[in-house]
Structure 1
Amino acid sequence: MIPEGTRYFLPPEARLRREMEEGLFRLLFAWGYEPVELPALEFYDPSHPLAERAFKLVDKTGEVLALRAEFTTAVAGLLRSNGGPPTNRPLRLQYAGTLWLREAAAELGRSREFRQVGAELVGVSSPQADAEVLELAWECLKQVGFPEARIEVGLPALVRDLLEATGLPEDKKERLRQAIHRKNTPELSALLEAYGVHPEPGRTLLALPDLYGGREVLEEARRLPLSSKAQADLDWLEAVLNLLPEVPLLLDLGRARLLGFYTGLNFQAYTPDFGLPLLGGGRYDGALLPYAAGFALGLERVMEALRLPTSENPPQALALDRALARKLRQEGLRVELAWTSDLGELRAYAQQRGIRWLALEGRLEELTPA
């Protein structure tokens, strides 16, 4: 028995997960993202965004620690501990590792231990930087086997600036935000009327849940009465889109999650026939770092969506001849070593496993499939 929310990974899943992670490492490195490694143990911080769901521990000094619950905060801590983040120049970092949550969100299923690969572009804030992060996210999706995936892009900054234009207190703006994000138009309409929101900003807010689709959604939004800040938000988004004509993006201008964290665009990627996001990210200037954007991909989520085969790929050869085994491995083959000199037992084992060759006395003997 193992704790609820954890699981074993057996062959071939463990191997495929490792290969997937290594492929993502090479891709991110080719884009200039250097790897960092972060401690699994952190000082417990009540202000951490996931503090209430983190696993807490107490060390021998009485210091309260926590298992790492997410990476963005950990990367920000790394930079603050090493001279601070750069200003006016890009720093590209990648990471991979395990996260733990005492109580997982519904979209994580029952997982309380899960692994992510991610990237952060720190130190600059521009449409070019946002376009880089989105394009890199798309390349990661293709790398792990989802060329058909679509990235849904929201603009929480737009929702925030439209809500600010109402002049309402924070608690009322929060209720409006939640209704917008849930796309609950009847509730949103009732709240706007109850709060006495002016018709022009009210009409714009009421339109947000339906602003979903292709790049034409941007033009629909521009026809609405908008504040100068909201116009600037759309100008930024349009500049990003103009840099990414080949990336399959869907716009969701009613996406309004975590307004206190995301300060620019926010995105998640989905694939047909799988209802949970494969990756997510966005821009969070000023929330943890002066300028930063990034994303993370969940390996368990990706593997579940891929519906990977459960049968193991056997080695190509079983070797009594160790020198020949070394030569075959140098040529790229997988080779197991024999544990006995009984040829009958070895042939039976190889046939049962689906191993094609027996390497002995400097030669390869092809085996008949069982």
Structure 2
Amino acid sequence: MPIDTPRGMDDLLPREVALKRRIEEVIREVFKLYGYLEIETPTVEYYELFAMKSGEEIRERMFEFEDKAGRKLVLRPEVTASIARLVSTKLKVWPQPLRLGYIADCYRYDEPQWGRRRRFWQGGFELFGSRSPLADAEILQVSREVFNRIGLRNHFFKVGHVGIIRKLLAEFQASERDQDRILTMLDRKLVNDAITLMKKLEVEGEAIKAIQELVKLEGYDHERIFKEASEILSPWK
């Protein structure tokens, strides 16, 4: 009989538990400061929820199993899909904008390494019901508040907008699943693989070139990035 933990699953010793609890306390303090209501969702969810809502990379790494009635279930690989389910059902009559926060354990069948385990924790903030850019700015500010309070001073945010690439791909009837595959490849820096798939899907050459140029845009000069992105996308305006 095995006497160790399953691969990628860890026991937490008292010092580690104390540190984890302190970080959770900080996150909850920030929940209250910014008016976010803490919620909890089940560790076990229906497979279909994440099959529909999560990207291909997450779907490939889910812990899947069947219950005694033959229903396909998963250990949640992330929390956002569960929050979206909750908002569209039990909270659908609540007034918006709706600010929700959570701290939860998640599970992914990753290759265990330093900083990446098969059981891990996510703490997050979700703001529903606002289309204003200020809502995105608020999430960044709230996250920054958490990082500063726990002592992570040298951090930065990498901000992107996958909706731009999705809209380009949709112009050529790429399905949402194919869009997910392409975005996953681009996220992993597998640009050549993404190009091969786009050509297979008969995405126009100019659109492929535009996507290649878009993923290269990065830096702290926001005005320059917006200007260059606008120029790249000008044929599709």
Fold match, TM over 0.5?
yes
Distance 1:208 1:108, change over 3 A: farther
Aligned residue number for residue 161 of structure 2: 155
Cα pair 2:103 2:123 within 8 Å, conserved: yes
Structure whose CA Rg is larger: 1
Task: Using the TM superposition, give the Cα deviation of residue 16 of structure 1 relative to its aligned residue in structure 2, in angstroms.
Answer: 1.2
Name the structure where helix makes up a greater proportion of residues. Answer: 2
Q: Is the counterpart of residue 77 in structure 1 residue 85 in structure 2?
A: yes
Q: Is the counterpart of residue 22 in structure 1 residue 25 in structure 2?
A: yes
Q: Is the counterpart of residue 204 in structure 1 residue 204 in structure 2?
A: no
CA distance in 2, matches of 1:217, 1:10: 46
Q: Spell out the pairing of 1:183-194 with structure 2 (5 A cutoff).
A: 183=189
Q: Is the counterpart of residue 220 in structure 1 residue 221 in structure 2?
A: no
* Letter in structure 2 aligned against 1:162: L
Cα pair 2:75 2:106 within 8 Å, conserved: yes
Distance 1:128 1:5, change over 3 A: same
Distance 1:202 1:146, change over 3 A: same
Cα pair 1:96 1:116 within 8 Å, conserved: yes
* Letter in structure 1 aligned against 2:63: A
CA distance in 2, matches of 1:211, 1:172: 23
How many residue pairs match? The answer is: 224
CA distance in 1, matches of 2:20, 2:205: 53
Q: Structure 2 unaligned runs (5+)?
A: none
Query: Which of 91, 97, 112 is the matching residue for 2:98?
Result: 91
Identity within the alignment, %:
28
Aligned residue number for residue 63 of structure 2: 54
Aligned residue number for residue 132 of structure 2: 126
Task: Using the TM superposition, give the Cα deviation of residue 151 of structure 1 relative to its aligned residue in structure 2, in angstroms.
Answer: 0.4
Task: Using the TM superposition, give the Cα deviation of residue 73 of structure 1 relative to its aligned residue in structure 2, in angstroms.
Answer: 1.9
Distance 1:26 1:178, change over 3 A: closer
Name the structure where strand makes up a greater proportion of residues. Answer: 1
CA distance in 2, matches of 1:196, 1:74: 33
TM-score for the superposition, normalised by structure 2: 0.75
Task: Using the TM superposition, give the Cα deviation of residue 150 of structure 1 relative to its aligned residue in structure 2, in angstroms.
Answer: 0.8
* Letter in structure 2 aligned against 1:91: L
Q: Structure 1 unaligned runs (5+)?
A: 230-370
Cα pair 2:8 2:112 within 8 Å, conserved: no
- Give CA-to-partner distance per residue, 1:200-223, whole Å, 9 cap, x none: x45533322321112122222233
Distance 1:34 1:223, change over 3 A: same
Aligned residue number for residue 45 of structure 1: 48
Q: Secondary structure at the match of 1:158?
A: helix
Aligned residue number for residue 256 of structure 1: none
CA distance in 2, matches of 1:140, 1:97: 16
Cα pair 1:97 1:115 within 8 Å, conserved: yes
Distance 1:90 1:173, change over 3 A: closer
Q: Spell out the pairing of 1:219-368 with structure 2 (5 A cutoff).
A: 219-227=227-235
Q: Secondary structure at the match of 1:154?
A: coil
Task: Using the TM superposition, give the Cα deviation of residue 189 of structure 1 relative to its aligned residue in structure 2, in angstroms.
Answer: 7.3
Q: Secondary structure at the match of 1:141?
A: helix
CA distance in 1, matches of 2:64, 2:193: 36
CA distance in 2, matches of 1:16, 1:191: 44
Q: Secondary structure at the match of 1:140?
A: helix
Cα pair 2:97 2:127 within 8 Å, conserved: yes
Q: Which shifted more, 204-213 or 44-53?
A: 44-53
Distance 1:107 1:156, change over 3 A: farther
Q: Secondary structure at the match of 1:152?
A: coil
Distance 1:212 1:30, change over 3 A: same
* Letter in structure 1 aligned against 2:158: E
Aligned residue number for residue 314 of structure 1: none
* Letter in structure 2 aligned against 1:98: D
Cα pair 1:91 1:123 within 8 Å, conserved: yes
Cα pair 1:6 1:113 within 8 Å, conserved: yes
CA distance in 2, matches of 1:107, 1:226: 43
Cα pair 1:86 1:122 within 8 Å, conserved: no
Aligned residue number for residue 9 of structure 1: 12
CA distance in 2, matches of 1:66, 1:190: 32
Task: Using the TM superposition, give the Cα deviation of residue 96 of structure 1 relative to its aligned residue in structure 2, in angstroms.
Answer: 1.0
